Chain A
Amino acid sequence: MKMFEYMGKELFAQFGLPVPKGRMVTDPDEAAKVAAEIGGSVVIKSQVLIGKRGKAGGIKFADNPEGAKAAAEEILGMTIQGLPVNILLVEEKLKIDKELYMSITVDGAAKAPVLIASAYGGMDIEEQPEEYIIKRHIDPELGMQAFIARDVVRKMGFPLNTPHGKQIVKIIQVLYKIFIEKDAELVEINPLVFSDDKVIAADSKVTIDDDAMFRRKELPYVEERSATEKAAKDLGLSYVDLDGEDIAVMANGAGITMGTLDTIEHFGGTPANFLDCGGGTGREATGKALEILFGLNPKVVFVNIFGGITRCDDVAGAVADVYKARGGFPVPLVIRLVGTNQEAGRAILEEIGVEAYDFMEDGAKRAVDISKGQA
């Protein structure tokens, strides 16, 4: 789950990480009020879950409350890369002497957290040469000890006995604490700025591990999915909208679902979606998943099941439930069904006159033919 910048900064502040004065608003009058509270120049930042908003005009400056109100009015009407702006963050305009980069994420290949830091942060961090980027893997059993933070600051080129050096050592340790205690996949500060003697997090990007949300109830919830993706997620399924419209696809497992999409494209078909109903999805949820697929108004629905923990009789039962509830299918349904409890599943399908394929290849070919009106 991605958090909005203002949420990340609230989290930072809770842990004692320095952030600019300010707060979140949703209308221009509030923006003027916050600007008056802060006094002096302010920055008005659109809150969207996407990068490069500055380049899209989603960040504006103002010298007084009236200016803040005008800027807020302008940004609230914007759409940034397809996302409407509904929330703003109004905060003090910092004096920026230098911009740094700091983040912690999980490195799957190293099977450990990795701290990434650079003395050259800001908008173009991705274009910085490798030698300006410091990567330090953290032994999870050791954690972020002070000596590690000090060594990173040394490598960034800052003296340890200066106010800046001391503050960065502290910030690195606090950032790791947030990363662990809040089950984050990513905590990023870009830029982390020098403002006179202070070091301040001028931005925040925090992503919480979806799998850990069950124990992170204290965090605000951010919805970042389409309505269909949300409906699927509520059923415990992974769903992604794709560009095609013809063939709605469901398979059990991420790998086989991708393999199914690849196969459909190989035969010249265009898949409308990715829907993984793996992991032992029950009969009822599978039925609802089928309803999601029919709701896409495709030309054909292709179900590809190789049952392991998923049981063929559950899937076939769901197909039969939907068939009976609707009095037939609105568009053809092609199903490949093999694996655990295959015979029981086939028997259920036979009762409603649906024939199952043994091989993905044959099922996919059939679905593509139907989608092209060649059946």
Chain B
Amino acid sequence: MAIIIDENTNVLVQGITGNQGVFHTKQMLAYGTKIVAGVTPGKGGNVVEGVPVYNSVREACENHRIDASVLFIPAPFTKDAAFESLEAGVGVVVVVTEGVPVHDETAIVAYAKRKGAIVLGPNTFGIVSSGKCKMGIPPNQYFVEGNVGVVARSGTLTYEITGSLTANGLGQSTVVGMGGDRVVGLTFIDVLRMFEKDPQTEAVVLIGEIGGNAEETASEYIKEMTKPVVAFIAGKSAPPGKRMGHAGAIIERGKGTYKGKVEALTEAGAKVAALPFEVPAIVKEVLGK
């Protein structure tokens, strides 16, 4: 099982001929992802790492079944590229790009909702159904198949925690990057619901950060879950009012503080790790291993 993508997912890479596109196509293929096509307008007819390149998403869809698309597209052109996949009926769109204007993000997410599609990102590392399919940029070797679902807002912190899970013999069902920006396609609750239904997933690790109220809202659903949730919230030491990289990681008007998030999660029955490397031990504990 796993969620959103699996070993049967046919993947399209938009921006496949760019530097990042070529590099990560190679990495994704090495991981076992079924990349069936790429798109770069004007570069149709080329082949990248054995993958045929088309001029448009429509053209790719005429030649292949496309289940999901991953974008390696510069920020100014991201809205157009995401719209193109959504308009062609692609069901899962992964927007890796960082620095997409917030109004473009709002437009992408609104259109995806109308089309009934899933958008991960913008500003996401992507998604890995460990051992089956990787869409995005995480380093391959840390993602090993198992029973822990991981959902996160930020990227490298997720590699950090997923890597430590793997090092402790805890593989993953799916690792989902929702994206670090203020407006992204999914909420924690959307993903937690999917993990709750997924037979492969036995426990969920939620990786949040200060700012916004996504973790507090998620707590409402965690109360209803049958599967255990372990959380880590980054930004314990961040001073209030300072923006730390992400649009998401900012404390505004006393909302979204570290303390408030930890209290809401704990009250909902989640176990909160104080530091990233404490997560595996707590997961083992809740799984009775």
Q: How far is the CA of A331 from the CA of B212 in the complex (A)?
A: 38
Q: How far is the CA of A339 from the CA of B163 in the complex (A)?
A: 10
Tell me if B145 is interfacial: C-beta within 8 Å of chain A: no
Flag if A308 contacts B139 (CB, 8 Å). yes
Chain B nearest CB: distance from A276 CB in Å?
A: 4
Number of residues in B with C-beta < 8 Å to the partner?
67
With A263-B276, A276-B245, A308-B159 as given contacts, are A258 and B210 in contact (CB-CB < 8 Å)? yes
Residues of A within 8 A of B180 (CB): 254-255
Tell me if B101 is interfacial: C-beta within 8 Å of chain A: yes
Tell me if B242 is interfacial: C-beta within 8 Å of chain A: yes
Q: How far is the CA of A351 from the CA of B98 in the complex (A)?
A: 34
Tell me if B157 is interfacial: C-beta within 8 Å of chain A: yes
Flag if B137 contacts A309 (CB, 8 Å). yes
Residues of B within 8 A of A340 (CB): 27, 139
Flag if B20 contacts A211 (CB, 8 Å). no
A-contact bits for B96-122, CB 8 A (1 contact / 0 none): 101111111011011100100000000
Tell me if B249 is interfacial: C-beta within 8 Å of chain A: yes
Tell me if B138 is interfacial: C-beta within 8 Å of chain A: yes
B-contact bits for A310-346, CB 8 A (1 contact / 0 none): 1000000000000000000000000000111010000
Tell me if A55 is interfacial: C-beta within 8 Å of chain B: no
Flag if B235 contacts A109 (CB, 8 Å). no
With A126-B253, A278-B156, A309-B20 as given contacts, are A240 and B244 in contact (CB-CB < 8 Å)? yes
Segment of B34-42, B83-91, B147-155 in the binding face: B147-155
Chain B nearest CB: distance from A143 CB in Å?
A: 11
Residues of B within 8 A of A141 (CB): 107, 110-111, 114
Flag if A306 contacts B237 (CB, 8 Å). no
Kindly report which residue of chain A lies nearest to residue B99, judged by CB atoms. Answer: A211
Q: How far is the CA of A265 from the CA of B243 in the complex (A)?
A: 19
A-contact bits for B171-198, CB 8 A (1 contact / 0 none): 0000000001011100100000000000
Tell me if A84 is interfacial: C-beta within 8 Å of chain B: no
Q: How far is the CA of A359 from the CA of B20 in the complex (A)?
A: 27
Flag if A259 contacts B160 (CB, 8 Å). yes
Flag if B242 contacts A240 (CB, 8 Å). yes
Interface residue ranges, A against B (CB under 8 Å): 106, 108-109, 111-113, 126, 139-141, 180, 183, 185, 209, 211-212, 214-215, 238, 240, 242-243, 251-259, 261-266, 271, 274, 276, 278-280, 306-310, 338-340, 342, 359-361
Interface residue ranges, B against A (CB under 8 Å): 20, 24, 27, 75-76, 96, 98-104, 106-107, 109-111, 114, 125, 137-139, 142, 152-160, 163-164, 180, 182-184, 187, 207, 209-210, 212-214, 217, 232, 234-239, 242-249, 253, 274-277
Offer 30 A-B interface pairs, CB within 8 angstroms, sorted by A.
Answer: A108-B248, A109-B214, A111-B106, A111-B109, A112-B106, A112-B110, A141-B110, A185-B102, A209-B101, A211-B101, A212-B103, A212-B104, A214-B75, A215-B76, A240-B243, A251-B156, A253-B155, A254-B245, A254-B246, A255-B155, A255-B156, A255-B158, A255-B180, A257-B244, A262-B235, A280-B20, A308-B139, A309-B20, A340-B27, A360-B160
Additional 20 contacts, C-beta under 8 A, given A255-B154, A258-B237, A276-B245: A106-B103, A108-B183, A109-B213, A140-B106, A141-B111, A141-B114, A211-B75, A214-B75, A238-B243, A240-B244, A254-B246, A256-B160, A256-B234, A261-B237, A278-B98, A278-B156, A280-B20, A306-B156, A359-B277, A361-B275
